[in-house]
Amino acid sequence: MYEIGEYIVHPGQGVCLVEDVVDNPSATYQLLPVGQRHPMRISFPVASESRLRPVLSHDEAEDIIAQYPTMQVDEFTNKSNALEEEHFRDEIRLGSCRDSVRVVKTFRTRIAEVKARNKKPPVAYERILKQASERSLSELAVALDSTPDDVRVLFEDIPDEDEIRQN
């Protein structure tokens, strides 16, 4: 059971603070999403807590950032754009922070490839990138006791794989 004041990851809302545990009529967590413009308190049944997960540790967050340059992109493709988008949304919702970061890298790469061919990337690519980025940055920020903007700067300062190979 999670404790009051602990940060957890809700599959739909992302990082939340456990504000209270109410026992009446059945045990529920009172969760407050972190980093949203107009957060609304969520009631989540304790009986379904297996769908929640704890936020990364500080060391795990640093590991993800350090491994970003060599992280493999997700090669999943589907002829149906809707099924492809659903696959990546599920990765973001149900996967770990590392999965969300991999989705970010995947869609940064895909968008760059499309732009290199002087084409406009599909709107779905931008949408998935934004979702994955917000989810991963908020969790990493909580783990590192920082802000999402500070974490974004950490990623920008990392050399990409090509720069690493050249050195």
For the stretch 45-85, pLDDT in tens is 999 999 999 999 999 999 999 999 999 999 999 889 899 99
pLDDT over 90 at 156, yes or no:
no
Q: Note whether 63 and 133 are same-domain residues.
A: yes
Kindly state whether residue 62 falls inside one of the protein's structural domains: yes
Q: Note whether 103 and 128 are same-domain residues.
A: yes
Q: Note whether 77 and 153 are same-domain residues.
A: yes
pLDDT of residue 160: 62
Kindly state whether residue 164 falls inside one of the protein's structural domains: no
pLDDT of residue 68: 94
pLDDT over 70 at 163, yes or no:
no
The rounded percent of the chain whose pLDDT value lies above 90 is 84
Q: Note whether 65 and 48 are same-domain residues.
A: no
C-alpha span between 82 and 19 (Å, rounded): 36
pLDDT of residue 166: 42
C-alpha span between 165 and 150 (Å, rounded): 26
Q: Note whether 101 and 49 are same-domain residues.
A: no
pLDDT over 80 at 164, yes or no:
no
Would you call 95 helix, strand, or coil by DSSP?
A: coil
Kindly state whether residue 63 falls inside one of the protein's structural domains: yes
Instruction: Give 96-127 pLDDT, tens digit per residue.
Output: 999 999 999 999 999 999 999 999 999 999 99
Q: For the chain, what is the largest distance between any 2 Cα atoms, rounded to a whole number of angstroms?
A: 62
Contact 120, 138 (CB under 8 A): no
The parent domain of residue 42 ranges over 7-54
Instruction: Give 77-99 pLDDT, tens digit per residue.
Output: 988 989 999 999 999 999 999 99
Report how many domains make up the chain. Answer: 2
Q: Note whether 150 and 69 are same-domain residues.
A: yes
pLDDT of residue 98: 97
pLDDT of residue 38: 85
The whole-model pTM stands at 0.90
Q: Note whether 41 and 70 are same-domain residues.
A: no
Kindly state whether residue 167 falls inside one of the protein's structural domains: no
Q: Note whether 82 and 11 are same-domain residues.
A: no
C-alpha span between 118 and 105 (Å, rounded): 20
**Residue 71 is part of a domain; what is its CATH number?**
1.20.58.1290
pLDDT of residue 161: 56
pLDDT band at 35 (very low <50, low <70, confident <90, very high): confident
> CA 73, 125, 103 angle in degrees (round to 5)?
30
Kindly state whether residue 111 falls inside one of the protein's structural domains: yes
